[in-house]
Homo-oligomer: A and B are copies of this chain.
């Protein structure tokens, strides 16, 4: 296939995908969608490696199937001979990974700070509540939670600090309290099961600095928590509205200049356009981004995958066996009093066009 012919075909594939997936994407996303097919035929591995929104990926792959460039059966994605010619004519190279095996690419060795406490955390997690779809839950691996807390510690946001966790199915509050480093850890969640679990752990393990309170984050933050914390941690739902709600609440809980916040953000459910909107919002709120480590967090596969929104989009359906849903870890730090409001949010804050797991 000639380059010119391939480019015309790509252009028509993108037009067709645009009709199915009304979200922002670029030819570079198409390149990412094809590069992974030169590396793996595993559907979920391809999603993970692509760093592109699932809604776009599925729309694009479905078009490729329609054009006989791709075979999608039994959870496998195989380029046809024409499909391979097409990718090569476009000059696309296989997706590569150079991730450090020791730290799973995070750059952080949590064992250096946690030592035997890591095992205690892992033991506690054996009895954790399962993730449920009602609250868009899905928790990270234990190594992820431990590495996050080690990272927070390393950045000086844990030891001697007052820490608030907004939504805590990842049990970050438990890992944080187990270190013995923070002055106080407060976990908020809408899910009674998590509140009971965390408070029971606190009592059983003698973690007097740890407390969990039920709170619906659509509600304004009560006065007593406003400006009361040095650090907030959260892993927001990724609709733009839902995301903003979590992070604004977090910012409102901070004491002020020099206080820090952490959150996760994926490519699965957020286009780079949404990333840019979120980054602008962060800067306009009076914070600076100090760290952005992509693929820091890996999520344990949750039980409701076959009823999530994106299941219907998949070109071939199979339940994932390995970690495929990952997120970037952001750290932000306040440079001034946060410029955000403490207002009530109405309705469904979990969905936008890019959302995939609701």
A269 to chain B, nearest CB (A): 16
The answer to whether A335 and B99 have CB atoms under 8 Å apart is no
- Interface: A283 (CB within 8 A): yes
The answer to whether B279 and A290 have CB atoms under 8 Å apart is no
A109 to chain B, nearest CB (A): 4
Complex Cα–Cα for A183 and B93 (A): 11
Stretch of A136-144, A199-207, A291-299 with 4 or more beta carbons under 8 angstroms from chain B: A291-299
- Interface: A19 (CB within 8 A): no
Question: Can you list, as one digit per residue, whether each of A326-342 has a CB less than 8 Å from chain B (1) or not (0)?
Answer: 00000001010000000
Q: Which residue of B lies closest to A100 (CB)?
A: B103
Interface residue count on the A side (C-beta < 8 Å): 57
- Interface: A8 (CB within 8 A): no
- Interface: A123 (CB within 8 A): no
- Interface: A303 (CB within 8 A): no
Q: Which residue of B lies closest to A181 (CB)?
A: B93
Contact A93:B335 (CB < 8 A) given known A103-B100, A107-B99, A288-B276: no
The answer to whether A28 and B103 have CB atoms under 8 Å apart is no
- Interface: A31 (CB within 8 A): yes
Q: Give the contacts of A75-105 with B (CB-CB under 8 A).
A: 91-103, 105
The answer to whether A31 and B93 have CB atoms under 8 Å apart is no
Question: Can you list, as one digit per residue, whether each of A227-240 has a CB less than 8 Å from chain B (1) or not (0)?
Answer: 00000000000000
Complex Cα–Cα for A98 and B151 (A): 7
Contact A107:B96 (CB < 8 A) given known A26-B335, A280-B283, A290-B272: no
- Interface: A67 (CB within 8 A): no
The answer to whether A98 and B154 have CB atoms under 8 Å apart is yes
The answer to whether B100 and A257 have CB atoms under 8 Å apart is no
The answer to whether B31 and A156 have CB atoms under 8 Å apart is yes
| Residues of B close to A92: CB separation below 8 A | 160
Residue picked from A35, A95, A97, A107, most chain B C-beta under 10 Å = A107
Give the contacting residue for A112; candidates B97, B151, B276; CB below 8 A.
B97
- Interface: A184 (CB within 8 A): no
Q: Give the contacts of A32-66 with B (CB-CB under 8 A).
A: 32, 35
The answer to whether B93 and A100 have CB atoms under 8 Å apart is no
A residues apposed to B, CB below 8 Å: 26-29, 31-32, 35, 91-103, 105-110, 112-113, 150-151, 153-154, 156, 159-160, 181, 183, 257-259, 272-273, 275-276, 279-280, 283, 287-294, 333, 335
Sorted nearest first, the 6 A-B pairs with minimum C-beta distance are A28-B258, A93-B159, A100-B103, A292-B292, A102-B102, A276-B288
